[in-house]
Structure 1
Amino acid sequence: MVTRLVAELLGELNLNVREIHSRKPQGYRTRISDEFRKSKGLILVTSDVSARGVDYPDVTLVIQIGVPADRQQYIHRLGRTGRKGKEGQGILLLAPWEEFFLSSIKDLPISKAPEPLVDPETRKKVERALAHVEMKNKEAAYQAWLGYYNSNKNVGRDKYRLVELANEFSHSMGLDNPPAIPKLVLGKMGLKNIPGLRSK
């Protein structure tokens, strides 16, 4: 899962971080939610289980990584900040090939920011931290990424391009080769025999 990957990476960078996603038991999610509500300096990495019906009153910033499934999902995720008249800000991080999504929210008050400059020392820190992320979490993130974007009609339409992008994601995690995916899973995704994928 990408959520787990991001949480572990931030933890390796010594940030105060917790994670919530659907594979965590409800009791754990409730406990972490309560801790997050009470904290002033905690980063919560969450999947869409926190996008609706959860009130975190003092969230000042929501960062969305990757293209939302649709406009409503974007709005619901962003709705975790700026609640009850308080100030809040949202950042949507998109790869250049994900920018098609911006046309669906062009009526909203958003502006495109320049790509931030990352100094070489920070880049090295992130690369070192990423090297410490468990391989099983990188493998799970790769499979989850592939499944998510395969279901996106704009990205998943061209299976060959999808696999190219998935393997770029794999490389960005510091992997020389993309993780192998069970044949059954590839079959369910309609990705059997697509060059660039490894099966097990």
Structure 2
Amino acid sequence: MENTPGFATRLMGVKVLILDEADRLLDMGFRSDIEKIVAALPKQRQTLLFSATVPDEVRQVCHIAMKRDLEFVNTVQEGSEETHSQVKQMHLIAPLDKQFSILYGLLTDHISENVDFKVIVFCTTAKVTSLVAELLSELKLNVREIHSRKPQSYRIRISKEFKESKGIILVSSDVSARGVDYPNVTLVVQLGVPTDREQYIHRLGRTGRKGNEGAGVLLLAPWEEYFLRSIKDLPITEATQPLIVLDTKKKVDKALAHVEVKDKESAYQAWLGYYNSNKFIGRDKYQLVSLANEFSRSMGLNNPPAVPKLVLRKMGPNNIPGLRAK
């Protein structure tokens, strides 16, 4: 709008404005952009706003973008369950150095029990998503990855393939958490702490759709266990701690050794950034670096990767023992 000559003028011909996933748009920091767009549009228009949740921020945007006599349509009945009753929810607490083996075990067990398995593994960031997808591919699983770092054309193709397939695993960032209807997903695994309760629920909602049964597993590290307090009212139970046989660990370690070092380095930096922004974990920078280096070791790295100084200055955890800068 600001950089394309004549674009603002063309906006004066807009008759309908649609704001979809409004709560996510605000979470991603687009409020000022929304305000600029609304200000450039003609007053006489139809405006439709869709949102899975209606926090105060969304109501404020309603006041900006819509008329006072707007019609509010609530499609969720009062007292409705927040998660599908036919979805079995479980959580597992395990240290980082065991999580890749546990994930592999969960997936292979599920595959052996479900001929038409269809699994989504949610990861914390795009780079961690790439790492996990690469690892599972090395383990000879039928894997696709999707996240914001991939071109739109690629995401559309992979999304279509996953939607139409069976016997497939999609490793995803939160681009698949909302607004996508993947039929017949049999299992959702969430690897690492979600950003909040709503995100946990949205991710879980990819399975058990249209009355089908499904299952969800939340895999957390011990220091992420605090998150369970935010979902204690949901029907989630503690899963039996799986036994990691030596053969499984060897297989996973061998696969990790084949994952590109540069991908591990990128995942480390992304992991550090994600948890740095977490108000429970990121406030203690010394603990944060210690945990990040634990994650580094879980990827099979002997030394934590160096992070650009500029990135560290933006994050805040600078000059912390154990943190390497370049």
TM > 0.5 fold call? yes
Letter of the structure 1 residue corresponding to residue 271 of structure 2: W
- What is the distance in 2 between the residues matched to 1:110 and 1:190? 35
Instruction: Tell me how far 1:114 sits from its aligned partner.
Output: 2.6
Equivalent in the alignment of 1:117: 243
The alpha-carbon deviation at position 115 of structure 1 amounts to 1.9
For residues 93-112 of structure 1, the C-alpha deviation after alignment (integer angstroms, 9 at most, x for no partner) is 00111100000000000001
Counterpart amino acid of residue 9 in structure 1? L
Q: Runs of 4+ in structure 1 displaced over 6 angstroms?
A: none
Aligned partner of residue 198 in structure 1, secondary structure = coil
**CA–CA distance in 1 between the matches of 2:143 and 2:199?**
23
Structure number with greater Rg is 2
- Structural RMSD (CA): 0.6
Superposed, which structure 2 residues align to 1:83-102 within 5 Å? Answer: 83-102=209-228
Residues 1:176 and 2:176 aligned together: no
Please, what TM-score do these two structures have when normalized by structure 1? 0.99
SS at match of 2:269: helix
Matches within 5 A, 1:56-75: 56-75=182-201
Matching residue of 1:195: 321
CA distance in 1, matches of 2:154, 2:318: 36
Deviations 1:146-191 (A, max 9, x none): 0000000000010000000000000000001000100000000011
Counting matched residue pairs gives 200
Higher helix share: 1
State the TM-score, normalized to the length of structure 2: 0.61
Matched, 1:146 2:276: no
Is residue 54 from structure 1 mapped to residue 180 from structure 2 by the alignment? yes
Query: Separation in 2 of the partners of 1:114 and 1:155?
Result: 26
* 2:141 counterpart of 1:15: yes
Partner of 2:40: none
Q: Which structure 2 segments of 5+ residues have no match?
A: 1-126
Give the secondary-structure state (helix, strand or coil) at the position aligned to 1:179.
coil
1:44 is paired with a residue of what secondary structure?
strand
Per the TM alignment, residue 140 of structure 1 is displaced from its structure 2 partner at its CA by 0.8
| Aligned AA (2:152) | Q
Question: In structure 1, how many angstroms separate the alpha carbons of the residues matched to 2:156 and 2:205?
Answer: 19
Unmatched 5+ residue regions in structure 1? none
Report the secondary structure of 2:304's partner residue. Answer: coil
> Deviations for 1:100-142, whole angstroms, at most 9, x for unmatched residues?
0000000000001132111001100000000000011100110
